[in-house]
């Protein structure tokens, strides 16, 4: 039963911290080698899923496809994780409370983490490698569309871990059915964190049906603001990349905000560039005065299209742009195109998002692009981790206090005084 698997994960989770970095990295090497050795088997199982795929969107179907080159890219991702420094045991604070009484805070794994993710089988490998490196136990639930592929990948990962360390081999489990999700969400005594990696409906369902802390994001409503002091050609390039490079992801922009002072110059050029890419444009009344496109509704400002659709709003100034972003955005990623450093600093400090960019595409909001090796997901929560979540986001900390018979009574009675001297 699933509950017994999760109980086992909870039991062994405390022992993973003592597994050396060398052993964890050797386990990742074993996964890399065995994935490459089993490419024909993986592709054979993936074909079963592709043949069975029905009633799913084109974007989900594309995410489901594995090729030999894609598997090699996945292996490269594991290598990137392996090359990162050890996230465990890092001293974050060291303070002398009194002579011979030292308090230290250091990084440790979170414990048992449940991850529910949709369609993409490569996510299973990314998440597994991050868990191995960070010393966490994991229960993984992929989308039903990738059932055969996920089984194949997980069996290879499990065998690889067992070949290096039996405890590591017990640290990951796979859930498969929809009923498993319902059961997982009830196991707050054993699971320390849930990470949903999928669409808004999945995230909302999980948040509404569990007592387990949830880390993730709902919508990915990202914005690009074209400031009146921005470079027009740069703005066009960044708008195109942020919308068109891959629209079916959470870090693609859904709304373009344009300062009214440059609307007549910028908007016709945006229309030309984006319509060549097949983007449907929807604009506010002020936008429609400049270019002939579809009319946007209030609902558009709160919609994550994940498609070749972009809403456009002309704003009075920077203040209105920031107000719009904070009212309608999802706290994910937002960009300003400007040469005005005062405007940039105000945008940076006042836009309430996990990632805030100056003159750069929002598509950079990704764990791999941030140098995290891979990501387990993106968090818009204001908890211990925010934005793309890599190794560091999968750790928490604990305190250790080393003394020599020290007692609080001595301080309460004034016999001793704290020094509170920071060593680190």
Q: What is the pLDDT of residues 88-144, one digit of tens each?
A: 999 999 999 999 999 999 999 999 999 998 778 899 999 999 999 999 999 999 988
What is the average pLDDT across 189-213? 88
Q: Is the pLDDT of residue 217 over 80?
A: no
Q: How many CA atoms lie within 13 A of 82 on its CB side?
A: 18
Predicted confidence band at 218 (pLDDT cuts at 50, 70, 90)?
A: low
Of 209, 178, 182, 191, give the one whose Cα is nearest residue 7. Answer: 191
Ranges of H-type helices in 245-340: 263-276, 285-288, 318-328
Predicted confidence band at 1 (pLDDT cuts at 50, 70, 90)?
A: confident
Cβ partners under 8 Å of residue 356, min gap 6 = 333, 334, 335, 336, 347, 348
Model pLDDT, residue 215: 86
Percent of the chain at pLDDT above 90?
Answer: 79
CA distance 348 to 22: 40
CATH number at residue 54: 3.40.605.10
**How many residues appear in the chain?**
424
Q: Where do we find the tokens 């090796």?
A: 373
Are residues 211 and 255 part of one domain? no
CA distances from 253 to 131, 242, 264, 290, 335 (A): 30, 6, 21, 21, 9
Q: Is the pLDDT of residue 342 over 70?
A: yes
What is the extent of the structural domain holding 358?
A: 222-364
C-alpha torsion angle, residues 146, 147, 153, 159 (rounded to 10): 170
Are residues 147 and 289 part of one domain? no
Q: Is the pLDDT of residue 56 over 90?
A: no
Dump pLDDT digits (tens) for 2-37: 899 999 999 999 999 899 999 999 999 999 999 999
Are residues 186 and 76 part of one domain? yes
Number of domains in the chain: 2
Paired with 401 in beta bridges are: 103
Is residue 399 one of the residues assigned to a domain?
no
CATH number at residue 349: 3.40.309.10
Are residues 323 and 244 part of one domain? yes
Model pLDDT, residue 347: 97
Are residues 207 and 243 part of one domain? no
What is the average pLDDT across 185-199? 90
Are residues 301 and 254 part of one domain? yes
Q: In the chain, what is the straight-line distance between the N-terminal and C-terminal CA atoms, in Å?
A: 47
Is residue 376 one of the residues assigned to a domain?
no
CA distances from 101 to 29, 96, 147, 399, 405 (A): 42, 6, 54, 13, 9
Are residues 270 and 183 part of one domain? no
Cβ partners under 8 Å of residue 143, min gap 6 = 117, 118, 119, 120, 198
Predicted confidence band at 207 (pLDDT cuts at 50, 70, 90)?
A: confident
Model pLDDT, residue 421: 96
């Amino acid at each position: 039963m699933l509950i017994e698997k999760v109980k086992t994960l909870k039991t062994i989770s405390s022992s993973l911290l003592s597994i050396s970095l060398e052993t964890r990295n050797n386990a990742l090497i074993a996964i890399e080698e065995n994935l490459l050795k089993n490419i024909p088997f993986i592709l054979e199982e993936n074909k079963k899923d592709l043949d069975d795929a029905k009633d799913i969107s084109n974007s989900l179907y594309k995410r489901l496809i594995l090729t030999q080159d894609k598997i090699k890219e996945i292996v490269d991702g594991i290598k990137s994780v392996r090359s990162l420094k050890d996230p465990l045991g890092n001293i974050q604070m060291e303070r002398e409370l009194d002579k011979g009484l030292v308090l230290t805070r250091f990084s440790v794994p979170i414990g048992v983490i449940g991850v529910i993710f949709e369609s993409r089988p490569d996510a299973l490998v990314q998440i597994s490698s991050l868990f191995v490196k960070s010393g966490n136990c994991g229960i993984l639930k992929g989308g039903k569309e990738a059932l055969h592929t996920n089984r194949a990948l997980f069996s290879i990962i499990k065998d690889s871990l067992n070949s290096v360390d039996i405890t590591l081999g017990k640290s990951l489990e796979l859930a498969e059915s929809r009923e498993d999700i319902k059961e997982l969400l009830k196991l707050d005594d054993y699971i320390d964190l849930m990470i949903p990696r999928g669409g808004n409906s999945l995230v909302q369902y999980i948040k509404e049906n569990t007592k387990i802390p949830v880390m993730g994001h709902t919508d990915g409503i990202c914005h690009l603001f074209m400031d009146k002091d921005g470079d027009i050609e740069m703005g066009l390039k960044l708008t195109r990349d942020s919308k068109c490079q891959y629209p079916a992801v959470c870090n693609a922009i859904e709304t373009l905000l344009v300062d009214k002072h440059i609307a007549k110059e910028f908007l016709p050029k945006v229309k030309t560039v984006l319509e060549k890419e097949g983007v449907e444009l929807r604009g506010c009344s002020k936008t429609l005065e400049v270019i002939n496109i579809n009319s946007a509704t209030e609902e558009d400002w709160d919609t994550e299209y994940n498609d070749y659709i972009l809403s456009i709003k002309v704003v009075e100034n920077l203040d209105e742009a920031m107000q719009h972003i904070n009212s309608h955005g999802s706290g994910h990623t937002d960009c300003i195109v400007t040469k005005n450093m005062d405007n940039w600093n105000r945008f940076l400090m006042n836009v309430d998002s996990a990632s805030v960019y100056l003159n750069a595409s929002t598509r950079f909001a990704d764990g791999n692009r941030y140098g995290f090796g891979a990501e387990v997901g993106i968090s818009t929560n204001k908890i211990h981790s925010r934005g793309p979540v890599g190794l560091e986001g999968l750790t928490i900390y604990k305190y250790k206090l080393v003394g020599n018979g020290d007692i609080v009574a001595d301080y309460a009675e004034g016999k001793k005084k704290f020094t509170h001297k920071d060593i680190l």
